[in-house]
Amino acid sequence: MASRKIEVVEKKNLVSPPVAVIISVLFPGLGHVLIRKLNRGLLIMASIGTIIGLFLWRIDLLAHRETDFISQYLKALSRKGFFIGFITLAIVILWLWVARDTYLHATRKKKGGFALFAFILVMFFAIGWQISEIDLKKAVTKFPDAWPPLSKILWPWEAAFTRATEELSASTEILIGSEDQGPPPIPVEEPGKPYLRSTPNFGKLSSLDENNNVIKGTILHLTGKNFKPNTLTQIWWFDALGNEFRPRQDGKYTSVTTDDKGNFEYDLVMPYRLIPPSAEGKILNKVEARQVTEVGSLIPADPLKLTFSLIIETIFMGMMATFFGIILSIPISFLAARNIMKGSWVTMLIYFITRTVLNIIRSIEPLIWALIAVVWVGLGPFAGIVALTVHSIAALGKLYSEAIEGIDHGPIEAIQATGANWLQTIMFAVIPQMIPPFVSFSIYRWDINVRMSTVIGLVGGGGIGFLLVQYIRLLDYKAAGIAVWFIALTVSILDYVSAEIRNRFV
Amino acid sequence: MLEVKNLTKIYNDGTVALDDVSFTVEDGEFLVIIGLSGSGKSTLLRCINRLIDPTEGQIIWDGKDVTSVKGAQLRNLRRQVGMIFQHFNLVNRSSVMNNVLSGRLGYVDPWKSLLYKFSPEDRKKAMESLQMVGIEDQALKRADELSGGQQQRVGIARALMQNPKMILADEPVASLDPVLAHTILGYLEKLNLERNITVMCSLHYLDLVQRYGTRVIGLRDGKLVWEGDNNAIKKMSDAEFKNIYGEEAERVSAGSLTGGEV
C-alpha cells in the first residue's frame, strides 16, 4: 500500500479577528461562522435565539396587559424580580462571553471549549424552572397538608380488619300531631328484651319560621331498659317513609350512655323533618335506641376483601391479555420479520405495512386504548383485556419478529445437510433458537400487562385500579392505601418471578 | 467416484460463484480446495450436497446424477454426506447429545424424531461418536458451553452419525487456532484412512494443505485454476501460488508447527 502523507491544511479565516468580534457582538454566533467554526457558531445562534425567544414569551405572560416592551419588562421585573434579573444578567454575560470566545478562536488561542455551553445549559435550567412552575417552598411548607391522607395510605391496616357487630335495639312509634288523633300504643315491656318508651308519644316536629329560625319541636322523654350497661346508645329517627337518620342536638349526634343496670333516661327534641305535602291522615314516625357493639375476633373488612378479589381479577386480566396477545402476535410477527418477507416486493410491502401499523399501535399507550375499549365493549375487565391485548399484539409482534430476524441460519443449513426433512429442520434448528426469546418476551409482557392492568381501571377498564380510583374519590384513604399496598406487593412479586423465569431461559 | 462436470453457479444478484468447473474425486481421497475468500469454495461444497442448486453442469456420484434428485431422494443423498462448517453450526441451546443425534435425522422415523425420541441404538452410536472425538464427558452440556475446538468435534460427531461415505468440510479450522487445527484435521484424516471416507475440505494454510491433502484443486474467481497431487503442491512455485491467491498474496504458514495430533 502506498503511504500517504497526511496534510493538515489550516483553513483561513474569512474575516480578521477584530471584525469577527464586532460581528459576534452584533449577531452572536455569526462571528464564529465567519472564522470557519460553523457548528459552534450555529449552536450559539440557536441557543441564544431560543433563550431570548423563551425569555420574551415569559415576560409577555407575566405582564400581558402592558402594551410597550419597556413597561412590560418593568412589570415582569417587579413580579418575578429574581428570575427576570438573573436571566437578563446571564444574557449579558453570555453576549460578552461569545464575543471573547470569537476572539480566542479567531486568533487560534483556543480550540473547542465546553464551558460556554455549560453556561447556556444553566440558563435553560433557570428558564425551565420558571416555565414548569417549580415551587420547592410550597412542596415543603404544604407537606403537612399531605400528611393525613399519606399516613393513611402508608399504614391502612386498621381499615383492613374489623369485628362482627351485634346490634341491640328497641323502638317506639311517635305520632306527629296532637293527642286527639290517637297516639300509638305504648310498647309492652318484656323481661330480658330491650325496651323503649316515650312520654309523650306524640308531638310536633321542629320547624323553621319565615326568618329561618328553628322552632323547637316537642321534647320527648325517652326511657330505655334492659340494654347493655355502661354502653353508648345511639338515638335514631325514622320518618314516615322509613328513612332513618341520627338527629342532632346542640350540634352533636344524639346519644346516651346506659347506667349500671342498662337503663337510661333521655330528653329528645323532636327533629326537623319536612312532611311531604301529599301526606294525609295519621303520620307516624319512629324513634329507636340502638347499641352497636363489636364482638368476636378480627375478620377481614370489606376494603380488604374487595381489594383481594380485584387483585385476582387484575392478575387474570393481565394473564388473559397476554395469552390473547401471544396467540395473535405469533402469526403477525412472521409478517413483520424481514428475513421471512424479503422474497418479493409484494411480501416486502406487507412487511412494511405490518411494521408501520404495529409501530403506530404500540406508540399509543394502553390507557388510551382502554378509553377506546370502554366505548367499544363497555366498562369492566373485558375492556381492560381488549386494551392490553391490542397493545400486547403490537409490542410482542415487534419483539417476536426481531427474534425471528435474529435467527442463526447456520444450524438450519447443518440440519438440512443431515438429510432432515422440512419439519425436522424446523423442530431441530428453528424452534430451539426461537423458544428462549419467545418465552422471555412473553413472560416480560405478562409482567407489563399486570402492571398496566392496575392502572387501566382508572379509566374504567376493570381491575384494582377501578376500585382504587373509587376509594380516592370517596376520600377513603385507608381503603385506597390497602389497594396501593396490594398493587405494590403483586407487582414486585411478579417482577421477581418473571425475572427469575427469564434468567433460566436466556 | 465423484465427477463434477462443467459446474456453474450464478446467484440471483448476478454473481458468478462457479464458472465451468470440472474435476473428479476418487473414493478415499482427501481432496483439499484452496482459494481466496469468495473464490467459490463454499459454493462448490454446498452444490455437492445440494444445499445450493447449481445453475448449470452435472455432479455425478457413484453413477447417479446428484443435480437432478428431489425430495426423498435428495434427503437420501444428503444423509450419506456429512458436512462440517467453519462456524460449527451447532444448535447452541440444545445439548451436545441432541446436536449429535440430529445427525441421525435422515435415517429415523420423522414423526418420532419430532419429539426428540431416538432409539437406544442411536444414543449408543452417539456416545461412540463422541468417544471417537474424545468428548464423551461433555454429552449433557449445552453446545454453547463448549470451547471452539470441542464444538467442532461435536460437528464431526454429528457428521459421523450419518455413516457418511463422504465428508464435506467447509474451512473446518478457520475459526480455530493452529494447534486445534491439527487435532481436527487429524480426526478427518483418521476417518479418511480408517473408514475410507472421502473428504473434501477447503483450507487456507499451505502447511495444512501440504500435510493432509492427497490431492488439491485451486479456485480463483469461480474457475478451476490449479489441480495436482500432494507432491505437486509441495513443489508448487511462487508463480503458481500467486496465480491462485493473486499478486499481493504472500505464502502464509501455519507457523513452525509440525503436523500430527496434539
Q: Do B94 and A427 touch (CB under 8 A)?
A: no
Interface of B with A in 32-61 (CB under 8 A): 49, 51
Average pLDDT per consecutive 10 residues, chain A (506 residues; last block may be shorter): 47 81 90 88 93 92 86 90 92 92 85 87 92 90 90 88 85 87 84 88 87 88 90 90 86 88 90 78 87 84 91 92 94 85 84 94 92 91 94 94 89 92 86 86 89 86 89 91 92 89 76
Domain A163-299: give its CATH code.
Answer: 2.60.40
Q: Class assignment of domain B1-80+164-262?
A: alpha beta
Residues A55-64: contacts with CB under 8 Å, at least 24 apart: A55/A87, A55/A91, A55/A127, A58/A83, A58/A127, A58/A130, A58/A131, A59/A84
ipTM of this complex: 0.90
A212: left (phi over 0), alpha (psi -120 to 50) or beta: left
Q: Does domain A302-505 have CATH number 1.10.3720.10?
A: yes
In chain B, beta strands by DSSP E: 2-10, 16-25, 30-34, 56-61, 64-65, 81-84, 166-169, 198-202, 215-220, 223-229
Per residue in B82-124, pLDDT (tens digit) is 999 999 999 988 899 999 999 999 999 888 888 888 999 999 9
Judging contacts by C-beta atoms under 8 Å, the chain B residues touching residue A418 are: 78-79, 83, 102-106, 158, 161-162
| CA separation for the pair A18, A24 (Å, rounded) | 10
CA–CA separation, B206 vs B203, rounded Å? 8
Q: Give the bridge partners for A133, in sequence order.
A: none
Neighboring chain A residues of B102 at a CB cutoff of 8 Å: 414-415, 418, 420, 428
| Contacting B residues, span 209-248, partner chain A, CB-CB under 8 Å | none
Phi and psi torsions of A145, nearest 5°? -65, -35
- Are B78 and A417 inside 8 Å of each other by CB? yes
CB contact under 8 A, A427 and B114: yes
In chain A, list all ranges with CATH 2.60.40. Answer: 163-299
Residues A20, A29: Cα–Cα separation, whole Å: 10
Query: Residue A433 and residue B107: Cβ atoms within 8 Å?
Result: no
Question: What are the residues whose beta carbons fall under 8 Å from the beta carbon of A284, sequence distance 6 or more?
Answer: A173, A174, A175, A176, A184, A240
The Cβ of residue B261 has, within 10 Å, a number of other Cβ atoms equal to 10
Query: Which string of b and e fits A108-122 if b means at least 16 CB within 10 Å?
Result: eeeeeeeebeeebee
The Cα of B108 is separated from the nearest Cα of chain A by a number of Å equal to 9
CA distance B88 to B257: 24
Element (H, E) at B178: helix B178-194
CB-closest option in B83, B93, B107 to A417:
B83
Helix, strand, coil percentages, rounded to 5, for chain B: 40, 25, 40
Q: Considering CB atoms only, which of B88, B90, B105 is closest to A418?
A: B105
Neighbouring C-alpha atoms within 13 Å toward the C-beta of B117: 6
pLDDT of residue B250: 58
CA distance A390 to A322: 10
Residues of A in contact with B91 (CB under 8 A): 411, 415, 428-429, 432-433
DSSP string for residues in B179-195 = HHHHHHHHHHHHHHHHS
Chain-chain contact of A414 with B104 (C-beta, under 8 angstroms): no
Spans of all domains in chain B: 1-80+164-262, 92-163
| Contact between chains at B94 and A428 (C-beta distance less than 8 A) | yes
pLDDT (tens digit, 0 to 9) for every residue of chain B, 262 residues total? 899 999 999 998 888 999 999 999 999 999 999 888 888 999 999 999 999 999 999 999 988 898 888 888 999 999 999 999 999 999 988 899 999 999 999 999 888 888 888 999 999 999 999 999 999 899 999 999 999 899 999 999 999 999 999 999 999 998 888 888 999 999 999 999 999 999 999 988 888 888 899 999 999 889 998 898 888 888 877 777 777 777 665 555 544 344 433 3
Residue among A410, A421, A429 minimizing CB distance to B87: A410
Residues of chain B with C-beta less than 8 angstroms from the C-beta of A414: 83, 85, 89-90, 102, 155, 158
CA A226 vs CA A162, A189, A194: distances in Å: 27, 10, 5
**Cβ-contact B154, B162 below 8 angstroms:** no
Q: Do A413 and B107 touch (CB under 8 A)?
A: no
Q: Mind listing the pLDDT tens digit for each residue in B12-37?
A: 888 899 999 999 999 999 999 988 88
Helix, strand, or coil (residue A488) = helix
CB atoms < 10 A from the CB of A148, how many? 10
Q: Residue A205's closest CA among A225, A233, A175?
A: A175
